Structure 1
Amino acid sequence: MSPARVVIVEDDRLLAGLNAKLVGELPDFEVVAVAHTASAGLREIEHHRPELLLLDVYLPDLNGLELLRRLRTMRTDVEVIAVTAARDLETVRRARMLGVRHYLVKPFTKADLHRRLNEVQRALDMTEGNADLDQRAVDLMLGGGSDEAAVAPKNLSASSLHRVAELLEGAAGDMSSAEIADALGMSRVSARRYLDHLATIGRAEVAPRYGTVGRPENRYRASHR
Protein backbone atom coordinates (compact mmCIF):
# COMPACT_ATOMS: atom_id res chain seq x y z
CA MET A 1 0.00 0.00 0.00
CA SER A 2 1.36 3.42 -0.96
CA PRO A 3 1.95 6.04 1.75
CA ALA A 4 -0.95 8.41 2.40
CA ARG A 5 -0.40 11.74 0.64
CA VAL A 6 -0.32 14.75 2.97
CA VAL A 7 -0.72 18.47 2.23
CA ILE A 8 0.31 20.96 4.94
CA VAL A 9 -1.29 24.42 5.00
CA GLU A 10 0.58 26.56 7.54
CA ASP A 11 1.61 30.22 7.25
CA ASP A 12 4.54 29.89 9.69
CA ARG A 13 7.28 28.64 7.36
CA LEU A 14 9.49 27.34 10.15
CA LEU A 15 6.64 25.38 11.74
CA ALA A 16 5.47 24.13 8.34
CA GLY A 17 8.93 22.72 7.69
CA LEU A 18 9.10 21.14 11.14
CA ASN A 19 5.67 19.53 10.71
CA ALA A 20 6.69 18.20 7.30
CA LYS A 21 9.78 16.64 8.90
CA LEU A 22 7.74 15.03 11.69
CA VAL A 23 5.18 13.63 9.26
CA GLY A 24 7.99 12.29 7.07
CA GLU A 25 9.34 10.24 9.98
CA LEU A 26 6.38 7.87 9.66
CA PRO A 27 6.62 5.51 6.67
CA ASP A 28 2.83 5.46 6.13
CA PHE A 29 2.75 9.15 5.17
CA GLU A 30 4.32 11.28 2.44
CA VAL A 31 4.20 15.08 2.39
CA VAL A 32 3.44 16.02 -1.22
CA ALA A 33 3.01 19.79 -0.78
CA VAL A 34 3.38 22.62 1.74
CA ALA A 35 1.35 25.82 1.30
CA HIS A 36 1.52 29.04 3.31
CA THR A 37 -1.83 30.56 2.29
CA ALA A 38 -5.34 29.20 1.93
CA SER A 39 -5.45 29.96 -1.81
CA ALA A 40 -2.19 28.07 -2.39
CA GLY A 41 -3.50 25.25 -0.21
CA LEU A 42 -6.64 24.92 -2.32
CA ARG A 43 -4.54 24.65 -5.47
CA GLU A 44 -2.27 22.00 -3.94
CA ILE A 45 -5.22 19.98 -2.66
CA GLU A 46 -6.94 20.09 -6.04
CA HIS A 47 -3.71 19.00 -7.75
CA HIS A 48 -2.58 16.24 -5.37
CA ARG A 49 -5.91 14.94 -4.00
CA PRO A 50 -4.32 14.05 -0.64
CA GLU A 51 -5.68 11.62 1.91
CA LEU A 52 -4.72 13.93 4.80
CA LEU A 53 -4.62 17.69 5.36
CA LEU A 54 -2.70 19.36 8.19
CA LEU A 55 -4.50 22.68 8.47
CA ASP A 56 -3.82 25.87 10.39
CA VAL A 57 -6.82 28.05 11.25
CA TYR A 58 -5.08 31.43 11.21
CA LEU A 59 -4.02 32.03 7.60
CA PRO A 60 -3.21 35.41 6.02
CA ASP A 61 -5.84 35.36 3.26
CA LEU A 62 -8.65 33.15 4.53
CA ASN A 63 -9.65 31.40 7.74
CA GLY A 64 -8.59 27.76 7.62
CA LEU A 65 -12.09 26.57 8.52
CA GLU A 66 -13.52 28.56 5.61
CA LEU A 67 -11.02 26.76 3.37
CA LEU A 68 -12.29 23.48 4.79
CA ARG A 69 -15.93 24.51 4.28
CA ARG A 70 -15.16 25.13 0.60
CA LEU A 71 -13.53 21.72 0.32
CA ARG A 72 -16.60 20.07 1.81
CA THR A 73 -18.83 22.01 -0.60
CA MET A 74 -16.67 20.65 -3.42
CA ARG A 75 -17.15 17.18 -1.88
CA THR A 76 -13.41 16.78 -1.44
CA ASP A 77 -12.85 13.64 0.63
CA VAL A 78 -9.86 14.28 2.90
CA GLU A 79 -8.99 13.56 6.52
CA VAL A 80 -8.08 16.70 8.49
CA ILE A 81 -5.90 17.38 11.49
CA ALA A 82 -6.23 21.00 12.62
CA VAL A 83 -2.89 22.36 13.85
CA THR A 84 -3.51 25.77 15.36
CA ALA A 85 -3.28 28.21 18.23
CA ALA A 86 -7.05 28.82 18.07
CA ARG A 87 -8.65 27.34 21.17
CA ASP A 88 -11.97 29.19 21.51
CA LEU A 89 -15.11 27.07 21.83
CA GLU A 90 -16.76 28.30 18.62
CA THR A 91 -13.72 27.47 16.46
CA VAL A 92 -13.41 24.00 17.95
CA ARG A 93 -17.15 23.40 17.49
CA ARG A 94 -17.02 24.50 13.84
CA ALA A 95 -14.00 22.30 13.24
CA ARG A 96 -15.86 19.29 14.56
CA MET A 97 -18.91 20.04 12.41
CA LEU A 98 -16.69 20.27 9.32
CA GLY A 99 -15.24 16.82 9.92
CA VAL A 100 -11.89 17.62 11.56
CA ARG A 101 -10.68 14.31 13.00
CA HIS A 102 -8.10 15.76 15.42
CA TYR A 103 -7.50 19.25 16.79
CA LEU A 104 -3.94 19.93 18.00
CA VAL A 105 -3.42 23.15 19.92
CA LYS A 106 0.01 24.76 19.50
CA PRO A 107 2.50 24.13 20.95
CA PHE A 108 2.35 20.34 20.79
CA THR A 109 4.91 17.56 20.96
CA LYS A 110 6.20 15.15 18.35
CA ALA A 111 4.45 12.34 20.24
CA ASP A 112 1.16 14.27 20.12
CA LEU A 113 1.32 14.58 16.33
CA HIS A 114 2.52 11.02 15.73
CA ARG A 115 -0.27 9.62 17.91
CA ARG A 116 -2.91 11.44 15.82
CA LEU A 117 -1.26 10.41 12.56
CA ASN A 118 -1.24 6.77 13.62
CA GLU A 119 -4.95 6.92 14.41
CA VAL A 120 -5.68 8.50 11.03
CA GLN A 121 -3.69 5.73 9.36
CA ARG A 122 -5.70 3.06 11.15
CA ALA A 123 -8.92 4.73 9.96
CA LEU A 124 -7.60 4.93 6.40
CA ASP A 125 -6.66 1.25 6.52
CA MET A 126 -10.27 0.38 7.34
CA THR A 127 -11.51 2.01 4.14
CA GLU A 128 -9.58 -0.57 2.10
CA GLY A 129 -12.06 -3.34 2.88
CA ASN A 130 -15.81 -3.88 2.83
CA ALA A 131 -16.19 -5.88 6.03
CA ASP A 132 -18.78 -4.97 8.66
CA LEU A 133 -17.35 -2.95 11.56
CA ASP A 134 -17.67 -3.64 15.25
CA GLN A 135 -18.41 -0.79 17.69
CA ARG A 136 -14.75 -0.02 18.37
CA ALA A 137 -14.04 0.23 14.64
CA VAL A 138 -17.08 2.47 14.13
CA ASP A 139 -15.87 4.74 16.95
CA LEU A 140 -12.45 4.97 15.34
CA MET A 141 -13.90 5.76 11.91
CA LEU A 142 -16.01 8.55 13.41
CA GLY A 143 -13.16 9.99 15.41
CA GLY A 144 -14.54 8.87 18.75
CA GLY A 145 -12.13 6.05 19.50
CA SER A 146 -10.40 6.22 22.84
CA ASP A 147 -6.66 6.28 23.24
CA GLU A 148 -5.87 2.83 24.64
CA ALA A 149 -2.71 4.18 26.29
CA ALA A 150 -4.90 6.40 28.46
CA VAL A 151 -6.99 3.43 29.69
CA ALA A 152 -4.99 1.56 32.30
CA PRO A 153 -5.83 -1.66 34.13
CA LYS A 154 -6.82 -1.25 37.76
CA ASN A 155 -3.29 -1.93 39.02
CA LEU A 156 -1.72 0.79 36.82
CA SER A 157 -2.00 4.58 36.83
CA ALA A 158 -3.50 6.08 33.66
CA SER A 159 -1.40 9.25 34.00
CA SER A 160 1.83 7.27 34.46
CA LEU A 161 0.91 5.03 31.53
CA HIS A 162 0.40 8.12 29.36
CA ARG A 163 3.81 9.49 30.43
CA VAL A 164 5.55 6.23 29.55
CA ALA A 165 3.77 6.04 26.17
CA GLU A 166 4.63 9.67 25.37
CA LEU A 167 8.30 9.21 26.28
CA LEU A 168 8.56 6.03 24.21
CA GLU A 169 6.85 7.62 21.19
CA GLY A 170 9.18 10.60 21.35
CA ALA A 171 12.35 8.51 21.61
CA ALA A 172 14.77 8.35 18.68
CA GLY A 173 15.21 4.57 19.12
CA ASP A 174 14.36 1.76 21.48
CA MET A 175 14.56 2.07 25.27
CA SER A 176 14.91 -0.29 28.21
CA SER A 177 12.74 -0.31 31.32
CA ALA A 178 15.74 1.03 33.27
CA GLU A 179 16.08 4.01 30.93
CA ILE A 180 12.35 4.74 31.16
CA ALA A 181 12.49 4.46 34.95
CA ASP A 182 15.43 6.85 35.23
CA ALA A 183 13.82 9.39 32.89
CA LEU A 184 10.46 9.41 34.71
CA GLY A 185 11.62 8.84 38.27
CA MET A 186 9.82 5.53 38.82
CA SER A 187 11.02 2.06 39.75
CA ARG A 188 12.28 -0.30 37.07
CA VAL A 189 9.62 -2.84 38.02
CA SER A 190 6.87 -0.27 37.50
CA ALA A 191 8.35 0.91 34.23
CA ARG A 192 8.48 -2.66 32.94
CA ARG A 193 4.82 -3.22 33.86
CA TYR A 194 3.74 -0.12 31.92
CA LEU A 195 5.91 -1.07 28.95
CA ASP A 196 4.56 -4.61 28.93
CA HIS A 197 0.99 -3.26 28.95
CA LEU A 198 1.78 -0.99 25.99
CA ALA A 199 3.15 -4.01 24.17
CA THR A 200 0.00 -6.00 25.00
CA ILE A 201 -2.32 -3.36 23.48
CA GLY A 202 -0.10 -2.93 20.43
CA ARG A 203 1.33 0.48 21.29
CA ALA A 204 4.88 -0.84 21.75
CA GLU A 205 7.14 -3.52 20.33
CA VAL A 206 9.60 -5.47 22.45
CA ALA A 207 12.71 -7.39 21.45
CA PRO A 208 15.57 -8.87 23.52
CA ARG A 209 19.11 -7.54 23.16
CA TYR A 210 21.81 -10.05 23.97
CA GLY A 211 24.96 -8.85 25.70
CA THR A 212 28.16 -10.61 26.61
CA VAL A 213 27.17 -11.52 30.17
CA GLY A 214 23.93 -12.42 31.88
CA ARG A 215 20.34 -12.47 30.70
CA PRO A 216 19.21 -10.57 27.58
CA GLU A 217 17.74 -7.10 28.11
CA ASN A 218 14.31 -6.33 26.69
CA ARG A 219 14.23 -3.19 24.54
CA TYR A 220 10.99 -1.37 23.72
CA ARG A 221 10.03 0.96 20.88
CA ALA A 222 6.78 2.65 19.92
CA SER A 223 4.64 0.88 17.35
CA HIS A 224 3.75 3.02 14.31
CA ARG A 225 0.72 1.15 13.07
Structure 2
Amino acid sequence: MIRVLVVDDDFMVARVHRGFVERVPGFTVDGVAHTGAEALDAVRSLRPDLVLLDIYLPDISGLEVLRRVREGAAPVDVLAITAARDVATIRTALRGGVIHYLIKPFTFEVLRERLDRYGAAHRRLAGDGDVAQDDVDRLFGALRPTRISLPKGLTAPTADLVRTALIAAVGDLSASECADVARLSRVSTRRYLEYFVESGTAAVRLRYGGTGRPERRYYWTGP
Protein backbone atom coordinates (compact mmCIF):
# COMPACT_ATOMS: atom_id res chain seq x y z
CA MET A 1 0.00 0.00 0.00
CA ILE A 2 1.13 3.54 -0.79
CA ARG A 3 0.84 5.57 2.41
CA VAL A 4 -0.49 9.12 2.05
CA LEU A 5 -0.52 12.22 4.26
CA VAL A 6 -3.28 14.73 3.48
CA VAL A 7 -2.47 18.38 4.30
CA ASP A 8 -5.22 21.01 4.08
CA ASP A 9 -6.24 23.83 6.40
CA ASP A 10 -9.94 23.27 5.68
CA PHE A 11 -11.21 20.34 7.77
CA MET A 12 -14.05 19.52 5.37
CA VAL A 13 -11.82 19.66 2.28
CA ALA A 14 -9.25 17.45 4.02
CA ARG A 15 -12.01 14.96 4.78
CA VAL A 16 -13.12 14.95 1.14
CA HIS A 17 -9.56 14.46 -0.12
CA ARG A 18 -9.04 11.66 2.39
CA GLY A 19 -12.16 9.98 1.08
CA PHE A 20 -10.95 10.38 -2.50
CA VAL A 21 -7.59 8.77 -1.72
CA GLU A 22 -9.13 5.85 0.15
CA ARG A 23 -11.31 5.06 -2.88
CA VAL A 24 -8.21 4.41 -5.01
CA PRO A 25 -6.96 0.81 -4.81
CA GLY A 26 -3.43 0.53 -3.47
CA PHE A 27 -3.54 3.77 -1.45
CA THR A 28 -4.22 4.39 2.23
CA VAL A 29 -4.28 7.61 4.29
CA ASP A 30 -1.93 7.42 7.28
CA GLY A 31 -2.66 10.91 8.60
CA VAL A 32 -4.20 14.34 8.10
CA ALA A 33 -2.61 17.70 8.96
CA HIS A 34 -4.18 21.16 8.97
CA THR A 35 -1.12 23.39 9.49
CA GLY A 36 2.41 23.51 8.16
CA ALA A 37 3.84 22.58 11.56
CA GLU A 38 1.54 19.57 11.82
CA ALA A 39 2.53 18.53 8.30
CA LEU A 40 6.25 18.65 9.09
CA ASP A 41 5.73 16.69 12.31
CA ALA A 42 3.65 14.09 10.48
CA VAL A 43 6.24 13.67 7.73
CA ARG A 44 8.90 13.02 10.37
CA SER A 45 6.80 10.64 12.47
CA LEU A 46 4.71 8.81 9.87
CA ARG A 47 7.20 8.79 6.97
CA PRO A 48 4.51 8.61 4.28
CA ASP A 49 5.25 7.79 0.67
CA LEU A 50 3.22 10.71 -0.67
CA VAL A 51 2.00 14.05 0.70
CA LEU A 52 -1.03 15.81 -0.77
CA LEU A 53 0.05 19.35 0.10
CA ASP A 54 -2.08 22.48 0.20
CA ILE A 55 -0.21 25.75 -0.42
CA TYR A 56 -2.38 28.07 1.67
CA LEU A 57 -1.83 27.07 5.30
CA PRO A 58 -2.51 29.20 8.41
CA ASP A 59 1.01 29.25 9.85
CA ILE A 60 3.57 28.75 7.09
CA SER A 61 3.17 28.41 3.34
CA GLY A 62 2.98 24.99 1.78
CA LEU A 63 5.94 26.08 -0.32
CA GLU A 64 7.94 26.51 2.89
CA VAL A 65 6.77 23.08 4.02
CA LEU A 66 7.97 21.69 0.70
CA ARG A 67 11.36 23.37 1.10
CA ARG A 68 11.84 22.00 4.63
CA VAL A 69 10.73 18.52 3.58
CA ARG A 70 13.32 18.57 0.81
CA GLU A 71 15.99 19.62 3.32
CA GLY A 72 15.05 16.81 5.69
CA ALA A 73 16.05 13.17 5.66
CA ALA A 74 12.61 11.68 5.03
CA PRO A 75 12.23 10.40 1.45
CA VAL A 76 8.76 11.56 0.43
CA ASP A 77 6.98 12.61 -2.75
CA VAL A 78 4.70 15.64 -2.84
CA LEU A 79 1.63 16.34 -4.94
CA ALA A 80 0.49 19.97 -4.62
CA ILE A 81 -3.28 20.39 -4.25
CA THR A 82 -4.25 24.03 -3.96
CA ALA A 83 -6.31 26.98 -5.11
CA ALA A 84 -3.10 28.90 -5.87
CA ARG A 85 -3.06 29.67 -9.60
CA ASP A 86 -0.32 32.27 -9.92
CA VAL A 87 2.60 31.39 -12.14
CA ALA A 88 5.22 32.22 -9.47
CA THR A 89 3.74 29.70 -7.04
CA ILE A 90 3.44 27.01 -9.69
CA ARG A 91 7.02 27.62 -10.81
CA THR A 92 8.33 27.43 -7.23
CA ALA A 93 6.42 24.22 -6.58
CA LEU A 94 7.79 22.62 -9.74
CA ARG A 95 11.33 23.63 -8.82
CA GLY A 96 10.71 22.17 -5.37
CA GLY A 97 10.14 18.78 -6.93
CA VAL A 98 6.37 18.22 -6.77
CA ILE A 99 5.27 15.29 -8.89
CA HIS A 100 2.19 17.22 -10.03
CA TYR A 101 0.13 20.32 -9.29
CA LEU A 102 -3.67 20.12 -9.04
CA ILE A 103 -5.78 23.26 -8.85
CA LYS A 104 -8.91 23.15 -6.70
CA PRO A 105 -11.66 22.30 -7.22
CA PHE A 106 -11.17 19.02 -9.03
CA THR A 107 -13.11 15.79 -9.37
CA PHE A 108 -12.34 12.39 -7.91
CA GLU A 109 -11.59 11.13 -11.43
CA VAL A 110 -8.85 13.75 -11.91
CA LEU A 111 -7.13 12.84 -8.63
CA ARG A 112 -7.54 9.13 -9.25
CA GLU A 113 -5.80 9.46 -12.62
CA ARG A 114 -2.83 11.23 -10.98
CA LEU A 115 -2.65 8.68 -8.19
CA ASP A 116 -2.82 5.78 -10.63
CA ARG A 117 0.09 7.25 -12.59
CA TYR A 118 2.05 7.83 -9.40
CA GLY A 119 1.35 4.28 -8.28
CA ALA A 120 2.68 2.91 -11.57
CA ALA A 121 5.89 4.94 -11.19
CA HIS A 122 6.20 3.98 -7.53
CA ARG A 123 6.04 0.28 -8.39
CA ARG A 124 8.69 0.65 -11.09
CA LEU A 125 11.04 2.14 -8.49
CA ALA A 126 10.39 -0.55 -5.90
CA GLY A 127 13.30 -2.74 -6.98
CA ASP A 128 17.06 -2.30 -7.12
CA GLY A 129 19.61 -2.33 -9.91
CA ASP A 130 20.08 -0.35 -13.10
CA VAL A 131 17.56 0.62 -15.74
CA ALA A 132 17.76 1.41 -19.45
CA GLN A 133 16.74 4.69 -21.07
CA ASP A 134 13.46 3.15 -22.25
CA ASP A 135 12.64 2.30 -18.62
CA VAL A 136 13.41 5.88 -17.57
CA ASP A 137 11.21 7.26 -20.36
CA ARG A 138 8.30 5.05 -19.27
CA LEU A 139 8.86 6.04 -15.63
CA PHE A 140 8.70 9.77 -16.29
CA GLY A 141 5.86 9.25 -18.71
CA ALA A 142 3.87 7.57 -15.96
CA LEU A 143 3.96 10.79 -13.93
CA ARG A 144 2.68 12.99 -16.75
CA PRO A 145 -0.67 12.87 -18.51
CA THR A 146 -0.40 11.98 -22.18
CA ARG A 147 -0.43 15.08 -24.34
CA ILE A 148 -3.06 15.24 -27.04
CA SER A 149 -1.64 16.07 -30.47
CA LEU A 150 -2.40 19.66 -31.38
CA PRO A 151 -4.51 20.32 -34.47
CA LYS A 152 -2.79 21.62 -37.58
CA GLY A 153 -1.84 25.28 -37.23
CA LEU A 154 -1.49 25.19 -33.44
CA THR A 155 1.93 25.00 -31.77
CA ALA A 156 2.98 23.70 -28.34
CA PRO A 157 4.85 26.88 -27.23
CA THR A 158 1.83 29.09 -27.96
CA ALA A 159 -0.51 26.57 -26.33
CA ASP A 160 1.66 26.75 -23.21
CA LEU A 161 1.35 30.57 -23.15
CA VAL A 162 -2.44 30.43 -23.31
CA ARG A 163 -2.57 27.56 -20.79
CA THR A 164 -0.39 29.48 -18.31
CA ALA A 165 -2.56 32.60 -18.68
CA LEU A 166 -5.70 30.60 -17.91
CA ILE A 167 -4.19 28.75 -14.95
CA ALA A 168 -2.85 31.97 -13.43
CA ALA A 169 -6.14 33.85 -13.84
CA VAL A 170 -8.33 34.62 -10.87
CA GLY A 171 -11.68 33.55 -12.24
CA ASP A 172 -12.41 33.39 -15.94
CA LEU A 173 -11.05 35.33 -18.93
CA SER A 174 -12.47 36.50 -22.20
CA ALA A 175 -10.47 35.78 -25.34
CA SER A 176 -9.35 39.42 -25.41
CA GLU A 177 -8.24 39.41 -21.78
CA CYS A 178 -6.38 36.13 -22.25
CA ALA A 179 -4.71 37.52 -25.39
CA ASP A 180 -3.51 40.56 -23.43
CA VAL A 181 -1.98 38.37 -20.72
CA ALA A 182 -0.35 35.98 -23.19
CA ARG A 183 0.64 38.84 -25.54
CA LEU A 184 -0.96 37.19 -28.53
CA SER A 185 -3.59 38.22 -31.02
CA ARG A 186 -7.21 37.75 -29.98
CA VAL A 187 -7.99 35.60 -33.03
CA SER A 188 -5.05 33.26 -32.36
CA THR A 189 -5.81 33.06 -28.63
CA ARG A 190 -9.45 32.21 -29.34
CA ARG A 191 -8.37 29.20 -31.43
CA TYR A 192 -6.31 27.81 -28.56
CA LEU A 193 -9.05 28.49 -26.04
CA GLU A 194 -11.60 26.63 -28.14
CA TYR A 195 -9.13 23.76 -28.57
CA PHE A 196 -8.76 23.51 -24.78
CA VAL A 197 -12.55 23.47 -24.42
CA GLU A 198 -12.88 20.71 -27.02
CA SER A 199 -10.15 18.65 -25.34
CA GLY A 200 -11.85 18.97 -21.93
CA THR A 201 -9.13 20.99 -20.18
CA ALA A 202 -11.02 24.30 -20.21
CA ALA A 203 -14.66 25.30 -19.94
CA VAL A 204 -16.80 28.26 -20.94
CA ARG A 205 -19.13 30.52 -19.00
CA LEU A 206 -21.50 32.78 -20.88
CA ARG A 207 -21.83 36.37 -19.66
CA TYR A 208 -25.00 38.03 -20.82
CA GLY A 209 -25.09 41.77 -21.41
CA GLY A 210 -27.83 44.12 -22.48
CA THR A 211 -27.73 43.40 -26.21
CA GLY A 212 -26.01 41.13 -28.67
CA ARG A 213 -24.44 37.73 -28.17
CA PRO A 214 -23.29 36.63 -24.73
CA GLU A 215 -19.56 36.92 -24.06
CA ARG A 216 -17.65 33.63 -23.89
CA ARG A 217 -15.42 33.49 -20.82
CA TYR A 218 -12.91 30.68 -20.31
CA TYR A 219 -11.46 29.00 -17.24
CA TRP A 220 -9.02 26.11 -16.78
CA THR A 221 -10.34 22.75 -15.58
CA GLY A 222 -7.58 20.36 -16.60
CA PRO A 223 -4.28 19.23 -15.08
TM-score by length of 1: 0.62
- Cα gap change, 1:140 to 1:97, in 2 (>3 Å): farther
Q: Distance in 1 between matches of 2:59 and 2:81?
A: 17
One-letter amino acid of the structure 2 residue matched with residue 40 of structure 1: E
Q: Equivalent residue of 1:26, what SS?
A: coil
Tell whether the 8 Å contact from 2:121 to 2:143 is kept in structure 1 after alignment. Answer: no
Tell whether the 8 Å contact from 1:149 to 1:162 is kept in structure 2 after alignment. Answer: no
Q: CA deviation at 1:150?
A: 4.4
Q: Which residue of 2 aligns with 1:96?
A: 94
TM-score by length of 2: 0.63
Q: Which residue of 2 aligns with 1:57?
A: 55
Q: Distance in 2 between matches of 1:136 and 1:104?
A: 28
- Cα gap change, 1:119 to 1:144, in 2 (>3 Å): closer
Provide runs of 4+ in structure 1 moved above 6 Å. Answer: 158-163
Q: Distance in 1 between matches of 2:196 and 2:134?
A: 23
1:84 paired residue among 82, 91, 110 = 82
Q: Which residue of 1 aligns with 2:111?
A: 113
Q: Distance in 2 between matches of 1:139 and 1:12?
A: 37
Can you give the 5+ residue segments of structure 2 that lack an aligned partner in the other structure? 151-194, 201-223
After superposition, what is the alpha-carbon deviation per residue over 1:178-206, rounded to whole angstroms, capped at 9, x for unaligned?
xxxxxxxxxxxxxxxxxxxxxxxxxxxxx
Q: Distance in 1 between matches of 2:120 and 2:98?
A: 16
Q: CA deviation at 1:118?
A: 0.7
How many residues are matched? 156
Higher alpha-carbon deviation: 116-125 or 140-149: 140-149
Q: Distance in 2 between matches of 1:75 and 1:161?
A: 44
**1:3-14 map, 5 Å:** 3-14=1-12
Tell whether the 8 Å contact from 1:38 to 1:63 is kept in structure 2 after alignment. Answer: yes
Q: CA deviation at 1:159?
A: 8.4
Q: Distance in 2 between matches of 1:159 and 1:135?
A: 32
Aligned CA-pair RMSD = 2.7
